[in-house]
């Protein structure tokens, strides 16, 4: 073969490589709020591995399921779960129709602003609060109430709307996964009908992709119209061991990636990463007292103990909010 032909081919190969490199460099950073480091690298390597055709770890788009916890993983859960704040506000709204609450716990403590008293009522007291504030109305009425509340309620510490207390790095991660044909679901211990009205606007996750705890409902004529009415009985708790059950029941496919922040997410990550093929588990560790709140093993909300110890042994990525994120909340 003549030298000029060989040189021509070498030049064409070199030019192609140069253009490919330039094109890659021109692509916007998919995770601009993440610092360079092991956590960011693990996310990028996983997504590239399972979405690159011809890769040994390639996963068909239909099986690219990613599940995210909500409280503490996608938005702030301190100083209390957002839905608990909603329920406490509902008690105050409904109080004029229930004068007996002035002397009946846990409602007495709620109305007095005594959070220690509310906490002292335990799970029984919290169940009573949820029962009276989330039931006795139609599903459509509850959606309207929850939507109006989330649109106006403010975080007690920052004074910002709750929907601005989302974690910017996690929102970027959701968008990055969706850009690579992942179907993204929220799988949360929060109430499914409390979350559905606002998840699409906040995270671009539609209501049908939300799995959560629920109370019992029934179909009946309500004020002369057919309606789904909410009852004061718990139907399903989507937390801990309930999360894999909820995923299996409502999604029907085992995820290949799971994201959480507490021991309430442990079984979800455990079940996800125990599947065949390339899998990914990630835990957000709240260790940034300056930009958010530092908490883990002893927290009343979002306790992270077992996951902190077991996660690294299982190959899960532990994200340090302090070290791995350039920013925490949207600007």
Q: What is the pLDDT of residue 31?
A: 98
Helix (H, G, I), strand (E, B) or coil at 282: strand
Cα 190 to Cα 28, 53, 98, 195, distances in angstroms: 34, 37, 26, 7
Work out the average pLDDT over 64-89.
Answer: 96
Confidence of residue 137 (pLDDT cuts 50, 70, 90): very high
Band (30; pLDDT cuts 50, 70, 90): very high
Distance CA 307, CA 302 (A): 11
d(CA 74, CA 159): 18
Q: Where are the domains of the chain?
A: 29-79+161-324
How far the first Cα of the chain sits from its last, in Å, is 61
Question: What's the whole-number mean pLDDT along residues 191-202?
Answer: 96
What is the average pLDDT value for the chain, to the nearest integer? 92
pLDDT band (50, 70, 90) for residue 3? low
Tell me what the mean pLDDT of segment 228-242 comes to: 94
Question: What pLDDT is stored for residue 12 in this prediction?
Answer: 52
* pLDDT at residue number 127: 82
pLDDT, tens digit (0-9, with 9 covering 90-100), for 291-314: 999 999 999 899 999 999 999 999
Angle of CA points 216, 222, 228, to nearest 5°: 30
What tokens were used for 256?
């290949």
pLDDT category of residue 9 using cuts at 50, 70 and 90: low
Q: What is the CATH number of domain 29-79+161-324?
A: 3.40.50.1000
Say what the pLDDT of residue 123 is: 66
What order of strands is seen across the sheet that includes strand 280-285? 225-236, 210-222, 183-191, 65-68, 257-260, 280-285, 317-320
pLDDT at 140 over 80: yes
In this structure, are residues 258 and 265 in contact, taking their beta carbons and an 8 Å threshold? yes
In this prediction the pTM is: 0.89
Predicted pLDDT at 23? 41
Over residues 115-131, the mean pLDDT reads: 83
Confidence of residue 151 (pLDDT cuts 50, 70, 90): very high
Look at residue 16 and tell me whether its pLDDT is greater than 90. Answer: no
What mean pLDDT is predicted for residues 195-221? 96
- The burial of 320, by beta-carbon neighbours within 10 Å (0-12 exposed, 13-18 middle, 19 or more buried), is given as middle
Question: Residue holding tokens 């996608």?
Answer: 74
Strand intervals (E) in the chain:
65-68, 183-191, 210-222, 225-236, 257-260, 280-285, 317-320
Distance CA(17)–CA(15), nearest Å, equals: 5
Residue 17: pLDDT above 50?
no
* pLDDT tens readout for residues 245-269: 999 999 999 999 999 999 999 999 9
């Amino acid at each position: 073969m003549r030298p000029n032909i060989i040189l021509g081919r070498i030049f064409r190969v070199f030019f192609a490589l140069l253009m490919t490199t330039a094109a890659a460099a021109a692509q916007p950073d998919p995770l601009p709020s993440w610092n360079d480091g092991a956590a960011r690298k693990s996310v990028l390597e996983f997504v590239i591995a399972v979405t690159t055709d011809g890769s040994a770890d390639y996963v068909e788009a239909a099986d690219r399921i990613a599940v995210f916890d909500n409280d503490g993983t996608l938005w702030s859960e301190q100083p209390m779960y957002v839905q608990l704040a909603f329920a406490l506000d509902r008690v105050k709204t409904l109080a004029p129709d229930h004068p007996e609450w002035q002397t009946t716990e846990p409602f007495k403590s709620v109305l007095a602003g005594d959070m220690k008293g509310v906490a002292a009522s335990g799970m029984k007291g919290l169940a009573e609060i949820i029962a009276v504030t989330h039931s006795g109305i139609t599903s459509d009425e509850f959606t309207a109430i929850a939507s109006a509340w989330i649109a106006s309620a403010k975080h007690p510490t920052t004074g910002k709307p709750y929907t601005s207390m989302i974690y910017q790095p996690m929102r970027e991660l959701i968008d990055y996964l969706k850009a690579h044909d992942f179907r993204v679901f929220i799988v949360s211990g929060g109430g499914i009908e409390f979350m559905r009205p606002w998840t699409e606007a906040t995270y671009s996750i539609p209501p049908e992709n939300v799995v959560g705890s629920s109370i019992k409902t029934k179909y009946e004529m309500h004020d002369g119209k057919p309606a789904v009415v909410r009852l004061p009985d718990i139907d399903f708790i989507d937390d801990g061991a309930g999360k894999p059950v909820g995923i299996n029941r409502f999604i029907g496919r085992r995820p290949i990636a799971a994201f959480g922040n507490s021991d309430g997410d442990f079984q979800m990550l455990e079940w996800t990463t125990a599947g065949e093929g390339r899998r990914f588990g990630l835990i957000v560790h709240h260790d940034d007292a300056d930009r958010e709140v530092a908490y883990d093993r002893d927290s009343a909300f979002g306790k992270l103990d077992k996951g902190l110890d077991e996660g690294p042994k299982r190959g899960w990525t532990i994200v340090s909010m302090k070290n791995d994120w350039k920013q925490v909340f949207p600007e």
